[in-house]
Structures are given as structure tokens and as C-alpha cells.
């Protein structure tokens, strides 16, 4: 046996040295970005990227290792190189933009080793970035166990970066700004700048049956893929002898907002699989939710129980009176007593004080959608055993939207971001689709654009959301300026903005108050001004957009008019200005109306925003929700003003924001000139 392998090795080396080597090049449609593929002396595939004549990725290796030493990484020769171009426009049922241009040049490099492995490396160059994936075919095997992905990103002239440290189980972490050369590990999207003036972000697209990719540093400014393992250390299990990986992506821009305006992640996913999509509708919602995080209500059925029939009806009434389409109830079902222990939730057994028949009848009468809630606690077998039954049961009550949750370690020691988990999350989406149910996943796998293929996968968490303000130091003003340039690049987020009782004063004085988590933690509060809360409804895109506060805090509040007018469904979006961690301004069009949100970190800032995005020849009434002259997120967060003025596309607005502040504007057409 040993002799045989020595012979094989000798043969391989011989074959490699005789094989055809070489480099082959691909340009983006505007010829600005260039990718060079080449093989090393040992037949190891490498790629390098330049953009605008600047190096972005220096020659970096590609490949995989396997558990039983099947070659997936070297001794290759090029057998074919196929070039093609695609330029198409497609539309989606919802999204930041309803129509999207998919324009790229493709190069498929077909490689063969001298034994059994064929590898096609498919590269796509867009004007706003790069995607590539591996397509392997290995003869003579019936399964594969991938150990390491060797994909490397050797970043040239790296300057600053923004990321959370790599973690196999949670994305709910703080972001660090640090030089690219100092990064030890990162979750993706990993966003960075170069000293040559580029902005870029590394992520992945179409993660449907693979391990999630994190990044680890192998040398300064060199990051290697680090896949999330199964409990036995195997990274990816392949049934059969062929597989393709998710796309490895690098978004590239000259401005930070170019990254936000890029659609390459969606373009690298498969088209929508569903025959009809009219059952998938964006909506605004409120919910019996924040009180639990503050500790003044409970998920379990005790004297603080939030999801009671009486409370449910109050929320339904409020939604109906305020142009809000949906209401979420958490803590409506049996099992919350076992949260954190057995995680034995029952998804078809309401608590005795939550009358499902009556609540759903009432909601139907008031034309309000109910968002069901399935907290699994990480007990996947329990959820998968009930999924079909629970979805069917929900639809009988007219519930077509479910918020899922995985707050707890996965039973069996599987990581939240492993292939096991990725398969589960996809199974949820596919099973839900059978029942025309849409999903909002908390503690999810990161978004990679699969919403294009399965548009019922509407929104998800996957970063620290509003909840962290209730029971921890919370999310800093800067954190909210990093999110749009990192986590949000990957897809919608159910951050749940819109807390008006920023210092929790009303809740502190609530008769419901029993155990005050906020005070227990010392200094919990929301770390923005009120105007920044409004602006986040625009900036933090989610097709299911929540007003997170308890409804008591909205009743009679003039600033809540912005949410009443706001549309969760939009047609077109543009990030106008911004820098990661500093500030951002985003505009969205919904029908004939526009909504603009601008926010800043701890530094007060004034932006000049030309309104050239408005329709020409049209006058608009702009209602401006601004920070008060004396507003300051720390000292005076509740100071705001509402003013109105007529504007048109040739105007420029001066947007003055307080420290930790922002501004939200609705534009309604008043006349056509
Ligand atoms: C964590 C989720 O992010 C939050 O929204 C939910 O209320 C709790 N888990 C309970 O399911
Ligand atoms: Ca969470």
C-alpha cells in the first residue's frame, strides 16, 4: 500500500511538471476590476484582483483538504477556460429595490488533476465586486468530508476594517474598528478600506448546504476561510461525488455607500423558486415584546404574563388605529417554563390566558395580521418534529408569518453556523413555503441572499438588536453607524428600531414593574436621540419593520406620525452618503413617496443632501423630524422638532444632527408642475 502511494505521488509530480500551466484574466464590464487566475508550480490554483489599477487581493490560494486525503487542492492543469457575459434585469416581490440589474463577465476555469478530480472555478466580475465558487467532481468516491477550505484573501494595502470576531455560535457581538493587519479573526461581512482609496467587503452568497465561513488570519493582512465544524471536526459532509460551494464574494467600491448600493449577493443567488409570490407581503408591526426584555412582563404564564387575550386585543386595536399591518405575540405558547433547560416548546398549545380563537377572530375583524412566534431554544429535533403540524395549524388561524428563535445552544453540540444548522434554517424556509408562511429568524444563520430564491425568508436578526439595550450596556451610537456597512450589506435585519422611552422612564414607573432588569444592570438605556430612532426605520432595512416600544409610549406622541406614514414595502433605495462608524444617509421610494433617514455617531454633524433623487417637475411636502437644538443622545435624547416645508428635486437640504442623533423625513407629492 505504502509503495503504491509513493508510486502515485511520483506519477502525480511527473504529471504536474508536464502539465500546462498559465494565467488567464477576467475584467469587469467597465474594465475597472481585473482578476488573474494562475496555477503555481505545484498546480495549486491562485487568484489576484486589482481594481482601478490598484492591487486589492495579492495572489492567494484556492482549494480544500479532505478527511481521507483526496486531492482537492493541487497538481491541477488547465483543461479549458470558458468566457461569457450576462446582462439582464430581474425583479423581486419585495426588497430595497424591486428591479435589479445583473451584469457580469464570467470565466470558468476547468482544471483536472491526473487522478480523479475535476474542478471548475467559476469567477464572476461585476462593476461592484467579485464572486467565485468551486464546482468539484471526484470520480471513484461516493461521499466526501471536507476538512479545511484553503481560500485565502491576501489583502493589498489594507487600511481600516470593521468586523466582529469569528464566532461559530453567535453574531450578537460588538464591532471592532482596527487596521486590516491587526485582524485575528472575523465573521463576515468583513468590511475594509485600502490606503489606495477602495472600500471592500468579504462575504458569501447562496449558503444553502455548507458550513458558514468565518475568516482567520494566517499572517498580517492575510485572511483564510475558517469553516464552522460539525461536532467531530469535519467541516462539510458531501453525499455523492460532486458539489459546489457557496460563492465567495468581495464587494468593491470607491465610496463606502457603494457597498450598500451593490446587489451582487442577490445576483449570485438562484432566481425565485415559487410559482406565486402574492402571499409574501412586507408589513409594519408592533408586538408584545419589549416589556419582556425590560422585565416588566413575562413570556411565562404568571402575574406579569404579556401575551394575554386582553393585551393582544389592545395591540390589535393600536395597530389598526395607526396604519400598522401586523402584531407579534411572544410567550403565547406552552413551554416557556423550560426555556434554558429542556427547551420543550409546544407550537400548537396556547397558554390558557391566550384565547387563540378569540385573538385571531378579533385580528381578522380588524384586518390585522398576526405574527406567530416559535422560540426553539436551540432544540432542533423538537422543532423539526413539530414544524409541519405547527405551520398547518397556524395557517388555520390565518397566521402567515412566523418569527423563529434559537436562543440557546443547539442540542447535540452543533454550532449555530455549521452545515447542520444551515440545513435546518433552509428546511424551515422550505417547509414554511409549503404553507405560504413567511419567516423572520432570530439567532439565524447570516443572510447570503437566499431571499431571492426563497422570498418568504424575509428578515432576520444576526447582530445585536434593540434587545441588547434592555439588559446590557447596549448598542453605542457608533455601533448603529457600523451596521449598515457590515451586517446590513448581507440583507435585511429585524433590528426592531423605534424605542421612544429612551431612558425607560415610563416603564420604570409602570405598575407592572416587578423585576427591573434595566436598573439591575446599572445603566441600561437606548443610546440615541429620538430622531435617530425614527431614522433607523429607514436605514435599517427590513421588509417586516417593527416599532419596538410598548404601545403606551407611542400613544399621542407626535413623532409616531413618521411610522404611521412609513411604508415597509419600497420600490427603490439609495444610500446617499456615509462612512462606516461615522454617519449614513439613506433614501427609499415607496410608490410616489420618499423616506429619508440620516444618523450620526457620537459626533454632531451637518450633511448637505441634494434632493435630486425626487421626481422632476414635482413639488413635495417634506415633513422633517429633527433633533432639537439642545438634543444630545446622552444628556437630552428626547428633544426633537417637527417642521414642514415644500421642496423639489433642485433643492438641497441641510441636515443638522446632534451627537448620537439623526433626522427622518417623509416626502409626499403635493402637485405636478
Ligand atoms: C431573542 C430574540 O432576539 C428576541 O427577539 C426574543 O424576544 C427572545 N429571544 C425570546 O425568544
Ligand atoms: Ca437575539
Each residue's pLDDT tens digit, 77-93: 999 999 999 999 999 99
Ligand 1, atom nearest to 293 Cα: 7
Ligand number nearest CA of 289 is: 1
Residues with CB under 5 A from ligand 2 (ion): 442, 461
Nine cell digits for residue 156: 493589498
**Rounded to whole angstroms, how far apart are CA atoms 134 and 418?**
19
Out of 293, 371, 373, 375, mutate this one to test ligand 1's pocket (max ligand atoms within 8 Å of CB): namely: 375
Atom of ligand 1 nearest to the CA of 461: 3
How confident is the model over 253-268, as pLDDT tens digits? 999 999 999 999 999 9
In this predicted structure, what is the pLDDT of residue 342?
A: 95
Q: Where in the chain is the domain with CATH 2.70.98.10?
A: 2-267
Q: What is the CATH code for 2-267? A: 2.70.98.10
Mean pLDDT of 2-15: 36
Cα 600 versus chain centre, distance = 21
The CATH 3.20.20.70 domain(s) of the chain lie at 271-462, 464-543+567-673
Computed over every residue of the chain, the mean pLDDT equals: 94
State residue 507's pLDDT score: 80
Nearest to residue 558, comparing CAs of 644, 648, 619, 662? 644
Distance 170 CA to ligand 2 centre (A): 9
Query: Ligand 2 centroid vs 494 CA: distance in angstroms?
Result: 10
CA of 77 relative to ligand 2 center, distance in Å = 47
Task: Answer whether residue 17 shows pLDDT above 50.
Answer: no
| Cα(599)–Cα(630) distance, integer angstroms | 16
Q: What is the C-alpha to C-alpha distance for residues 48 and 168, in angstroms, rounded to an integer?
A: 28
Q: 271-462 architecture in CATH?
A: Alpha-Beta Barrel (3.20)
Which residues, judged by CB distance below 6 Å to any ligand atom, belong to the binding site of ligand 1? 289, 330, 375, 405, 407, 442, 461, 467
DSSP sequence for 167-178: -SS------EEE
d(CA 517, CA 501): 15
Class of the 464-543+567-673 domain?
alpha beta
Q: Identify the helix (H) or strand (E) that includes residue 143.
A: strand 143-149
Please give the pLDDT value at position 15: 35
Report whether pLDDT(396) > 60: yes
For the purposes of burial, counting CB atoms within 10 Å of the CB of 158, is it exposed (0-12), middle (13-18) or buried (19 or more)? buried
Q: Cell 447535540 identifies what position?
A: 412
Q: How confident is the model at residue 524 (pLDDT cuts 50, 70, 90)?
A: confident
**Where in the sequence numbering do the catalytic residues fall?**
467
Residue 328 CA to ligand 1 center (angstroms) comes to: 12
**Cβ contacts of residue 84 below 8 Å, gap of 6+?**
105, 106, 108
415, pLDDT greater than 60: yes
Atom of ligand 1 nearest to the CA of 496: 5
Q: What is the DSSP letter of 157?
A: T
Cα 130 from Cα 140, distance rounded (Å): 33
**pTM metric for this prediction:** 0.95
Whether pLDDT at 599 is above 80: yes
Residue 512 has a pLDDT of 58
pLDDT score of 509 = 72
Q: Which atom of ligand 1 is nearest to the CA of 465?
A: 3
Average pLDDT over residues 291-305: 93
Closest CA to 566 of 322, 363, 371: 322
Of 236-245, 322-331, 336-345, 516-525, the one with minimum mean pLDDT is: 516-525
pLDDT digits (tens, 9 = 90+) for 328-361: 999 999 999 999 999 999 999 999 999 999 999 9
Q: How remote is the CA of residue 173 from the centroid of ligand 2, in Å?
A: 11
CA atoms within 13 A on the CB side of 132: 27
Q: What is the pLDDT of residue 4?
A: 36
- Over 70: is that where the pLDDT of 582 sits? yes
Instruction: Render pLDDT for 21-39 as a digit per residue (tens, 0 to 9).
Output: 578 999 999 999 999 999 9
Question: Which ligand has an atom closest to residue 172 CA?
Answer: 2
Minimal-distance CA residue to ligand 1 atom 2: 442
Q: Is the pLDDT of residue 672 over 50?
A: yes
pLDDT at 5: 39
End-to-end CA distance of the chain: 86
DSSP assigned state of 328: E
Amino acid at each position: 500500500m505504502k509503495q503504491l502511494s509513493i508510486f502515485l505521488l511520483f506519477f502525480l509530480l511527473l504529471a504536474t511538471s508536464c502539465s500546462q500551466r498559465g494565467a488567464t484574466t477576467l475584467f469587469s464590464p467597465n474594465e475597472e476590476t481585473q482578476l488573474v487566475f494562475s496555477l503555481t508550480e505545484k498546480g495549486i490554483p491562485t487568484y489576484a484582483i486589482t481594481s482601478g489599477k490598484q492591487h486589492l487581493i495579492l495572489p492567494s490560494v484556492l482549494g480544500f483538504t479532505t478527511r481521507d486525503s483526496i486531492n482537492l487542492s493541487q497538481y491541477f492543469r488547465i483543461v479549458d477556460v470558458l468566457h461569457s457575459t450576462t446582462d439582464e434585469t430581474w425583479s423581486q416581490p419585495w426588497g430595497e429595490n424591486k428591479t435589479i440589474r445583473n451584469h457580469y463577465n464570467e470565466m470558468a476555469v476547468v482544471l483536472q488533476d491526473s487522478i480523479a478530480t475535476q474542478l471548475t472555478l467559476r469567477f464572476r466580475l461585476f462593476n461592484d465586486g467579485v464572486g467565485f465558487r468551486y464546482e468539484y467532481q471526484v470520480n471513484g468516491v461516493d461521499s466526501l468530508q471536507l476538512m479545511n477550505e484553503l481560500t485565502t484573501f491576501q489583502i493589498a494595502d489594507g487600511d481600516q476594517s470593521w468586523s466582529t470576531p469569528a464566532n461559530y455560535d453567535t453574531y450578537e457581538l460588538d464591532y471592532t474598528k482596527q487596521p486590516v493587519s491587526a485582524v485575528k479573526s472575523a465573521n463576515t461581512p468583513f468590511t475594509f478600506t485600502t490606503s489606495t482609496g477602495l472600500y471592500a467587503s468579504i462575504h458569501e452568497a447562496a449558503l444553502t448546504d455548507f458550513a458558514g465561513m468565518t475568516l482567520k488570519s494566517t499572517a498580517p493582512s492575510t485572511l483564510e476561510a475558517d469553516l464552522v465544524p460539525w461536532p467531530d471536526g469535519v467541516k462539510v459532509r458531501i453525499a455523492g461525488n460532486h458539489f459546489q460551494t457557496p460563492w465567495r464574494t468581495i464587494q468593491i467600491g470607491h465610496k463606502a455607500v457603494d457597498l450598500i448600493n451593490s446587489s451582487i449577493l442577490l445576483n449570485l443567488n438562484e432566481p425565485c423558486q415559487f410559482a406565486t409570490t402574492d402571499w409574501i407581503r412586507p408589513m409594519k408591526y408592533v408586538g408584545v415584546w419589549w416589556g419582556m426584555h425590560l422585565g416588566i412582563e413575562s413570556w411565562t404564564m404568571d402575574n406579569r404574563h404579556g401575551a394575554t387575550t386582553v393585551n393582544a386585543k389592545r395591540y390589535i386595536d393600536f395597530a389598526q388605529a395607526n396604519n400598522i399591518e401586523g402584531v407579534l405575540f411572544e410567550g403565547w405558547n406552552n413551554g416557556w417554563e423550560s426555556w434554558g433547560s429542556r427547551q420543550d416548546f409546544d407550537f400548537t398549545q396556547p397558554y390558557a390566558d391566550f384565547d387563540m380563537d378569540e385573538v385571531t377572530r378579533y385580528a381578522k375583524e380588524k384586518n390585522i395580521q398576526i405574527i406567530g412566534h416559535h422560540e426553539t431554544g436551540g432544540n432542533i429535533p423538537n422543532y423539526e418534529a413539530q414544524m409541519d403540524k405547527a405551520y398547518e395549524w397556524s395557517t388555520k388561524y390565518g397566521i402567515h408569518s412566523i418569527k423563529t428563535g434559537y436562543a440557546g445552544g443547539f442540542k447535540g453540540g452543533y454550532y449555530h453556523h455549521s452545515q447542520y444548522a444551515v440545513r435546518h434554517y433552509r428546511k424551515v424556509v422550505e417547509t414554511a413555503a409549503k404553507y405560504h408562511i413567511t419567516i423572520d429568524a432570530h439567532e439565524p444563520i447570516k443572510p447570503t441572499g437566499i431571499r431571492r430564491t426563497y422570498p418568504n425568508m424575509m428578515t432576520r436578526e444576526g447582530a445585536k438588536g434593540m434587545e441588547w439595550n434592555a439588559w446590557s450596556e447596549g448598542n453605542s451610537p457608533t455601533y448603529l453607524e457600523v451596521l449598515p456597512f457590515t451586517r446590513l450589506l448581507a440583507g435585511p435585519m429585524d433590528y426592531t428600531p423605534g424605542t421612544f422611552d429612551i431612558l425607560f422612564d415610563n416603564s420604570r414607573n409602570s405598575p407592572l414593574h416587578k423585576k427591573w432588569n434595566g436598573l439591575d444592570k446599572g445603566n441600561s438605556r437606548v443610546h440615541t436621540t429620538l430622531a435617530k430612532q425614527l431614522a433607523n426605520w429607514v436605514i435599517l432595512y427590513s421588509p417586516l419593520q417593527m416599532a419596538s416600544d410598548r404601545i403606551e409610549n407611542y400613544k399621542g406622541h407626535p413623532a409616531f406620525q413618521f411610522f404611521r406614514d412609513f411604508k415597509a414595502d419600497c420600490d427603490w433605495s439609495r444610500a446617499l452618503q456615509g462612512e462606516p462608524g461615522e454617519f449614513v444617509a439613506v433614501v427609499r421610494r415607496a410608490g410616489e413617496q420618499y423616506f429619508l433617514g440620516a444618523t450620526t455617531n457620537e459626533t454632531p454633524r451637518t450633511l448637505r443632501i441634494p434632493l435630486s433623487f425626487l421626481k422632476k417637475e414635482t413639488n413635495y411636502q417634506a415633513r422633517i423630524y429633527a433633533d432639537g437644538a439642545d438634543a444630545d443622545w446622552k444628556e437630552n435624547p428626547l428633544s426633537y422638532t417637527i417642521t414642514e416645508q415644500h421642496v423639489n428635486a433642485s433643492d438641497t437640504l441641510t441636515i443638522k444632527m446632534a451627537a448620537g442623533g439623526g433626522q427622518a423625513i417623509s416626502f409626499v407629492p403635493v402637485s405636478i408642475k
